[in-house]
């Protein structure tokens, strides 16, 4: 475990930044804006950024790194799949409620729907996320799916997951900018009132959270070891000592020793 220090440090910072971002968005809507309610007015709109950041960004980020947490390697792969899929489904539910809030607000206030780039990219991200969940469940959870299909789909799943996550972060930054431009009248956004500075910092927090999640989830040497390897370690008498040796090897900065991890991607990690 001590060989995972850099991973754990980055993970801690990622979690802290994500959590602070959620606190910031909560303070934004409660302190600087009107608060929260389901009344067709500004308070209803405020659910949109709150749930988008909490669910679609923070929870999705955690779902992405969950396989890599060393203390979960004792759990079965099936259990981890349920946790990964469950967190993503939760993120999806919060994202959908956040969309219902903003569409309902627009309809009540007679504001046109889907006119902005933010809304186009955001809706596309939600549709892709839905597809990712459906395909993820069908391919990685249904026992009838053959191993070679899982193996072939894995690189696509990982790429599209990271692409969706990045797109959602870009969407949030656009939405934040729009809201500051629309919402700040006197003083205006360009006059840098305290709310503008506070929310700019929120945007930075979200960006740094995204960067850390992407970094942590794309290092081959921090991947969950293959099931064969974990099983071998489990059954080995000298489990503790040998775990350290193998994990140390797989942390080498040299990309070659990590070919095991990469090979595993092609080897149906069902
Ligand atoms: C509107 C998606 C985050 C601010 C919308 C709409 C969609 C959307 C589809 C169109 C609603 C309609 O036309 O009735 C998303 C997604 C997000 C996200 C997927 C995930 C991160 C945010 C955040 C803010 C925000 C963090 C910050 C306040 C707005 C604003 C509108 C809006 C001001 C109304 C103006 C417009 O339609 O562009 N959003 N949003 N959004 N969103 Fe977001
Ligand atoms: C791995 C994203 C839904 C099964 C991954 C990875 C990402 C990702 C980025 C790479 C993680 C890593 O390399 O450590 C997503 C997103 C989803 C989603 C954004 C929702 C929209 C699902 C679902 C399942 C699933 C529903 C079904 C069980 C897997 C499996 C892996 C994986 C088996 C391989 C983990 C490993 O390398 O050991 N996912 N995923 N995913 N995902 Fe998903």
Query: 137-189, pLDDT tens digit by residue?
Result: 999 999 999 999 999 999 999 999 999 999 999 999 999 999 999 999 999 99
Ligand nearest to the CA of 60: 2
Write the CATH number for 200.
1.20.120.1770
Q: Is residue 239 one of the residues assigned to a domain?
A: no
Question: Is 162 a pocket residue for ligand 2 (Cβ < 6 Å)?
Answer: yes
What is the distance between the alpha carbons of residues 188 and 212, in angstroms, rounded to a whole number?
32
Calculate mean pLDDT across residues 37-52: 98
Q: Is residue 244 one of the residues assigned to a domain?
A: no
Other C-beta atoms lying within 10 Å of the C-beta of residue 57:
26
Q: Is residue 176 one of the residues assigned to a domain?
A: yes
The answer on pLDDT for 99 being more than 90 is yes
Instruction: Among 64, 65, 126, 164, say which to mutate for ligand 2: greatest number of ligand atoms within 8 Å of CB.
Output: 64
Question: Is 122 a pocket residue for ligand 2 (Cβ < 6 Å)?
Answer: no
Contact 252/11 with Cβ under 8 angstroms? no
Distances (CA, A) of 151 to 76, 266, 268: 18, 5, 4
Structure tokens at 269: 């990690």
Q: Name the closest-CA residue to atom 3, ligand 1.
A: 172
Range of the domain at 210: 2-218
The answer on pLDDT for 260 being more than 70 is no
Q: Is residue 250 one of the residues assigned to a domain?
A: no
Other C-beta atoms lying within 10 Å of the C-beta of residue 221:
20
- What interface predicted TM-score (ipTM) does this complex get? 0.93
Q: Is residue 196 one of the residues assigned to a domain?
A: yes
C-alpha triplet 170, 175, 181: angle, nearest 5°: 130
Total structural domains in the chain? 1
Q: Is residue 17 one of the residues assigned to a domain?
A: yes
Q: Is residue 191 one of the residues assigned to a domain?
A: yes
pLDDT tens-place string over residues 219-256: 999 999 988 777 777 676 454 554 444 443 333 333 32
- The whole-number pLDDT of residue 129 equals 98
The runs of H, that is alpha helices, within the chain are: 5-27, 42-45, 47-51, 60-65, 77-108, 117-136, 147-183, 194-216, 227-235, 239-250, 259-265
């Amino acid at each position: 475990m001590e060989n995972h220090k850099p991973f754990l440090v980055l993970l801690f910072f990622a979690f802290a930044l994500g959590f602070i971002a959620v606190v910031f968005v909560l303070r934004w809507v409660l302190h600087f804006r009107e608060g929260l309610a389901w009344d067709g007015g500004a308070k209803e709109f405020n659910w949109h950024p709150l749930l988008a950041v909490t669910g679609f960004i923070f929870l999705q980020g955690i779902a992405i790194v969950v396989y890599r947490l060393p203390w979960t390697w004792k759990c079965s792969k099936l259990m981890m799949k349920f946790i990964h899929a469950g967190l993503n489904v939760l993120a999806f539910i919060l994202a959908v409620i956040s969309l219902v809030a903003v569409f309902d607000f627009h309809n009540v206030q007679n504001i046109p729907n889907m006119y902005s780039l933010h809304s186009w990219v955001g809706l596309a991200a939600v549709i892709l996320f839905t597809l990712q969940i459906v395909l993820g469940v069908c391919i990685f959870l249904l026992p009838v799916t053959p191993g070679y299909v899982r193996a072939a789909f894995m690189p696509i799943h990982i790429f599209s997951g990271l692409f969706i996550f990045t797109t959602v972060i870009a969407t949030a930054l656009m939405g934040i900018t729009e809201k500051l431009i629309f919402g700040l009248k006197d003083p205006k956004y360009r006059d840098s009132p305290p709310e503008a500075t506070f929310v700019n910092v929120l945007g930075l927090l979200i960006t740094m959270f995204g960067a850390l999640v992407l970094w942590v989830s794309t290092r081959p040497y921090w991947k969950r070891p293959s099931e064969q390897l974990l099983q071998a370690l489990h059954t080995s008498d000298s489990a503790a000592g040998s775990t350290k040796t193998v994990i140390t090897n797989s942390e080498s900065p040299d990309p070659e020793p990590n070919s095991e991890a990469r090979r595993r991607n092609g080897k149906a990690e069902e």
